[in-house]
Amino acid sequence: MGRLGSVRVGWRREEDAYVITLRLDAGEGIHGHGQGGAPMQLVTNEATFRFDGEQPDPHPDLLAVAALSIAVPWVKCRVRFSAAISPGLAEAIAEYFGLAAGPVDPRLDVRRSGSRVALAFGVGADSTAVSLVLPRDAPHIHLRRVSHRRVPNRFKEYRPEVFERLALGFEDLGRHVIIVPSDVEYLRAPHPTYATWPAVGVGAYLLADALDLGSVAFGTVLGPRYLYGGLTFGLPTPKEHPWDHLFARAGLPFMMPLAGSTEVTTGLIVRRAGLSSHVRSCPVGDESGPCWTCMKCFRKELVTAAWDARPLDDRLLRNLHEGHPIVERFRSPPPYPVHHMAEYGLARLIDGPTFLEEAAAPFRDVRDETDWVARYYPRSAEFDVLPQWRSTVGPAIAKEVEMMSTADVSHLEGWDALARVGRLTGSRYRV
């Protein structure tokens, strides 16, 4: 394999850390696309993951897929790793990403398995709810943001120490929490965020062999798994969800136990467990609590108030002043961000501000068509819970959530937000 037009992805061990590096060759540029096709650029060429206690000793294929989850937005044609990978993994990278990969060692065979599942733990309601349906011995691996020595921090509102403290609090609940400090979110601009969604699990991938992992679980919910931005329903095919299949080929398949649920149900699971004070989804809140002004806080409160059949919290309403991005967005035509969640909340809105009452008007008479938002999609267990854990995880899910009815499934599987908005709003918001 020639070097022209390739990206060289390497790794090196430094005492208690792994450093993953990228080097672009001729024909490759610093511009790429990340989650949801969002444009971004590469601003530095290395990311560090530190380990205290459990030390990683990963199979070369695990190192390769971990590194690829960081590097793939900038790989256009071929990727060269710093160590040989198995023929099976090279074939999978070609099959699912259309990339030539090497070097390949024909003698290397992944054939790895493990008896445990780990949770990529972000301390939000979604991953916390997954924690409650996994076996209690599942390690919770939290990627803790730390500064990058080459890249300035331009998002000082984010408080990683708050998230770390919340994560460590789960040790008091009998969970094994592992903190992996990393500067990987500074690799790209705009930052900080991950180049791809699987990059949040790199700490778990590197520890997989040391911890005897057979799977990594995520707090993925129904919207990103089945509704592609809340707009239209689709099953998790290899074309739409290539990472699932790539990691399975590397011997570490993903599991998403609550991908059949939405943020409504994960929030209810957390509340019933008495863990609301242990979770944080807001990226800019501090020790005292969430910010009550960002879109995440708004969406969480909109659907929580809908479920509780109460008005929106005054702490949120006080921030929704003229010119606020949330006000401007909901004065614009639908569909709205994460539309199925927005419609569920708007259809059940009680005494909201004028701009929300007007946004809610088209959806109130068809609120029963979004009842499924508060229930579990039964087919998810087929796609998202691995067979070896179904006997334990399946009953735990059934205990926590209500299953969708036949009518609910029909509404979900026929979901097309653009066509729906056009039908419900008429000429005013025709799409």
The token pair that represents 118 in the structure block: 């780990």
CA angle 413, 414, 418 (to 5 degrees): 125
Predicted local confidence at residue 143, as pLDDT: 95
Predicted local confidence at residue 323, as pLDDT: 95
Predicted local confidence at residue 364, as pLDDT: 96
CB 295 within 8 A of CB 337: yes
User: Over the stretch 334-350, which tens digit does the pLDDT of each residue have?
Assistant: 999 999 999 999 999 99
Name 85's bridge partners: 104
* DSSP state for residue 8 in the 8-state scheme: E
Structural domain spans, the chain: 6-104, 116-259, 264-374+408-429
User: Over the stretch 80-134, which tens digit does the pLDDT of each residue have?
Assistant: 999 999 999 999 999 999 999 999 999 998 778 899 999 999 999 999 999 999 9
CB 11 within 8 A of CB 58: no
Topology at the third CATH level for domain 116-259: Rossmann fold (3.40.50)
DSSP string, 246-313: HHHHTT--EE-TTTTS-HHHHHHHHHHTT-GGG----TT-BTTB--SSSHHHHHHHHHHHHHHT-PPP
The token pair that represents 104 in the structure block: 């390949």
Using 70 as the pLDDT threshold, list the residues of the chain that sit under it.
1-5, 26-27, 156, 427-431
- Phi/psi class of residue 116: alpha, beta or left (left: φ > 0; alpha: ψ in -120 to 50)? beta
